[in-house]
Amino acid sequence: MIGKTAIHALALSSCLLAVPALAQSVNLYTTREPSLLNPVLEAFTKDTGVKVNAVFLKDGLQERIRAEGANSPADVMLMVDVGEIAAAVDAGITQPVKSEVVDKVVPAQLRPDNNWVTLTKRARIVVVSKDRVSQDAITYEDLADPKWKGKFCIRAGQHPYNNALFAAYLVHNGAEKSEAYLKALRANAARKPGGGDRDVARDIQSGLCDIAVINTYYIGLMSQAKNEQKGWFDAIKPLKTTFANGGTHVNVSAAAIAKNAPNKDNAVKLIEYMLGEKAQALYANGNFEFPVNAAVTDSAAVRLLGAVTPDKLPLSEVAKQRKAAADLVDKVGFDN
């Protein structure tokens, strides 16, 4: 028996299939916000003549493609979390991206076995009170130092952003040290973990905490705010943040080619275009993310925060440890 969700997905896919299949078109399924992606898609169509039929889905992208099955019109999937894109590969709904451009532009750890390809990076870093903390650099491990007791703020440990960070910590340090680390972070917390990344900047401004973890693009968005968030930005100082024996933890927006892509050549063309200098600048500047193309040295995020050296852990290894990291978060009562 087919559920309502599957029927709805099949009905929607039928609408796409009813559109004449143009040789110069590509169908994109994405969880990315339209306002952030549309400038790149419009530029792609203008420069290549290939029309993009974009389907924006907040949730349920994988479920929809599985429901559509072999008749799915999806050519490209674009997601904004390493766990999501890795899960799509594990679900068997992707195929490898074969492209010399991809091989040349994207470092190997950001395109595991070419099953998916990183388009932009966002770093998860530490920020501190500009007025109350003097240091300029820190390791993720140092967040467990008791000197931060009652001064540390963070959103929920089970949130995908923190889950990915803790999974990376787990790969670096093993389960025993990771459990102790999570206990120490929880003991240092100034309040119950929760809220959003911008909320931790607000709490630094108010004096509730002195140190917090945040995604870099939120810093950029607050820097341009016309409301109280500009004050939150002015109250914080980003620190150079790395693992003790590694680089900065990054998460990604990434693309994969759908297993049954009817327009595979144009799918590759779209991914290659999005790795080009023009698209990388548009994409990165639209959301204060870091370009993956090393030739794009000037972007809004780099101008605001400086360049980031990503940790060399393969993101596929991080994705594999996400469940184990989530289990540890529950075990230590991190979000309680």
* Residues of each annotated binding site for Fe cation: 217-218
d(CA 88, CA 9): 17
The residues, ordered by sequence, that sit 6+ positions from 202 with a Cβ below 8 Å of its Cβ are 228, 229, 232
Q: Which amino acid is at 3?
A: G
Annotated binding site: 217-218
Bridge partners, residue 252, by sequence: 121
For the chain, the straight-line distance linking the first and the last C-alpha, in angstroms and rounded, comes to 39
The residues, ordered by sequence, that sit 6+ positions from 165 with a Cβ below 8 Å of its Cβ are 124, 140, 213, 249
d(CA 236, CA 222): 11
Q: Using an 8 Å Cβ cutoff, are 98 and 271 in contact?
A: no
Token digits of residue 225:
């705010």
Strand runs labelled E in the chain = 25-30, 51-56, 76-79, 94-95, 117-129, 137-139, 152-153, 211-215, 236-238, 240-242, 250-258, 290-291
CB atoms within 10 A of CB 272: 17
Token digits of residue 204:
């630094």
CB atoms within 10 A of CB 109: 17
Residue with tokens 């991914």: 271
What's the full length of the chain, in residues?
336
Token digits of residue 28:
């994109």
DSSP label of 114 = G
The residues, ordered by sequence, that sit 6+ positions from 318 with a Cβ below 8 Å of its Cβ are 82, 164, 167, 168, 171
